[in-house]
C-alpha cells in the first residue's frame, strides 16, 4: 500500500501536466470536435442512401441496425474515437527522440513507461470530463427522451457502468499501442508512416466508419482484436447491443491484450535503449 501511494505521488504530476497541456490547446479540441461532427454528417448521408434504397426503406433493419441506431452508433463512435485520439504517446516519444530529451529522461528516477502512461491518463480524464460526459448525456438524453432508443432505466445504468469499464480498458490499450508505435520510432526515426498505418487499422478494425456487424465472419474475428476495444465494443455496449455474458468475455480479452502488448513493449524498450539515436541534442 505504501508503495502504491509513493508511486501515485511520484507520477500524478505527469497526469496533471497532461491535463494542462491539453487545456493549453482548447481551440484544437474545439476544431477536432467540429471536424468529427462534419465527418459524421457526411457518413450519415451515405447510410441514409443505403437505407432509403433497401427493400424496407427507412424502416429496414440492416445487419442488426435500424437507421436510428446507425445514427446513434456513428455519433457515439466519432465521439469515442475523438477522445481515443487525444494525448498520443507515440508522438510524445517521437518528440523525445527528435529533441534529444530522451537520454536525460532515462537518467531520471522514474519509469519511462509510467511517465508516458500517467501523462496520457491525465489527458484522457480531462477529455472525458470536458467531452464525453456532457456530450454523451445530451445525446443519450435526447435519444432516450424521444423514444429513439428504447431501453429501461436499470438496463441503461448497467450499460453505462460497463461502458465506463471498457473506456478505462480502452485507454490502457490505446496507450499501450501508442507506446508500441513509439518504440518502433527508435528503429525507424520516423513516425508519420507508422501513425498512418495505426490510424487506418484502428478506424477499419475498430468499426469507426463501418460497424463490424457489416463485415460478416471477418467482423466477428476483428471484434476480438485490440482495435475493437478502441471503438466498437464500448459503443455497442452503451447502446445495449452486447449481451452481458459476452461483455464479461470481452473484459477478460481486453485484459489479456493489455498484458500481451505491455509485455511486447517491455521487451522492445530493453532493446531500444541499447541503440538510442537522438537528433536534437
In angstroms, the CA 84 to CA 123 distance is 10
| Burial label, 147 (beta-carbon count in 10 A; 0-12, 13-18, 19+) | exposed
Give ∠ CA 183-188-191 in degrees, rounded to 5.
75
Q: Residue 62 forms beta bridges with which residues?
A: 65
What is the chain's pLDDT, residue by residue, as a tens digit (281 residues)?
Answer: 556 666 677 788 888 888 877 776 666 667 777 777 788 888 888 899 999 999 888 999 999 999 999 999 999 998 888 888 776 888 888 888 887 777 677 777 788 888 899 999 998 988 888 888 998 999 999 999 999 999 999 999 999 999 999 999 999 999 999 999 999 988 887 888 888 889 888 889 999 888 999 998 999 999 999 999 999 999 999 999 999 999 999 999 999 999 999 999 999 988 877 766 555 44
Q: Specify which residues 65 forms β-bridges with.
A: 62
CA dist 239 and 247 (Å) reads 13
**What is the reported pLDDT for 281?**
47
pLDDT at 95: 86
Torsion of CA 18, 19, 23, 24, to 10 degrees: -30
- Whether 261 and 226 have beta carbons less than 8 Å apart is answered as yes
Q: What does pTM read for this prediction?
A: 0.91
User: Any idea where the domains of the chain sit in the sequence?
Assistant: 2-275
Q: Count CA within 13 A, CB hemisphere, residue 232.
A: 27
Q: Closest Cα partner for 247 from 233, 227, 260? A: 233
How far from the centroid of its chain's Cα atoms is residue 130's Cα?
A: 16
Amino acid at each position: 500500500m505504501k508503495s502504491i501511494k509513493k508511486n501515485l505521488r511520484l507520477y500524478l504530476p505527469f497526469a496533471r501536466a497532461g491535463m494542462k497541456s491539453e487545456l493549453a490547446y482548447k481551440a484544437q479540441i474545439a476544431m477536432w470536435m467540429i471536424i468529427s461532427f462534419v465527418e459524421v454528417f457526411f457518413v450519415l448521408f451515405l447510410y441514409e442512401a443505403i437505407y432509403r434504397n433497401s427493400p424496407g426503406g427507412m424502416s429496414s433493419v440492416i445487419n442488426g441496425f435500424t437507421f436510428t441506431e446507425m445514427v446513434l452508433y456513428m455519433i457515439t463512435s466519432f465521439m469515442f474515437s475523438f477522445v481515443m485520439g487525444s494525448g498520443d504517446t507515440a508522438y510524445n516519444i517521437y518528440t523525445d527522440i527528435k529533441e534529444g530529451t530522451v537520454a536525460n529522461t532515462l537518467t531520471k528516477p522514474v519509469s519511462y513507461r509510467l511517465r508516458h502512461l500517467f501523462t496520457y491518463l491525465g489527458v484522457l480524464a480531462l477529455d472525458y470530463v470536458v467531452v464525453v460526459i456532457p456530450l454523451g448525456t445530451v445525446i443519450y438524453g435526447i435519444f432516450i427522451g424521444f423514444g429513439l432508443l428504447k431501453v429501461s432505466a436499470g438496463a441503461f445504468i448497467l450499460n453505462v457502468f460497463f461502458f465506463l469499464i471498457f473506456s478505462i480498458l480502452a485507454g490502457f490499450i490505446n496507450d499501450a499501442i501508442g507506446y508500441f508505435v513509439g518504440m518502433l520510432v527508435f528503429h525507424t526515426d520516423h513516425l508519420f508512416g507508422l501513425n498512418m498505418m495505426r490510424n487506418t487499422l484502428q478506424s477499419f478494425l475498430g468499426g469507426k466508419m463501418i460497424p463490424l456487424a457489416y463485415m460478416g465472419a471477418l467482423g466477428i474475428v476483428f471484434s476480438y482484436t485490440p482495435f475493437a476495444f478502441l471503438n466498437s465494443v464500448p459503443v455497442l455496449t452503451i447502446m445495449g447491443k452486447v449481451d452481458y455474458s459476452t461483455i464479461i468475455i470481452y473484459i477478460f480479452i481486453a485484459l489479456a491484450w493489455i498484458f500481451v502488448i505491455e509485455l511486447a513493449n517491455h521487451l522492445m524498450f530493453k532493446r531500444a535503449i541499447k541503440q538510442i539515436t537522438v537528433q536534437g541534442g
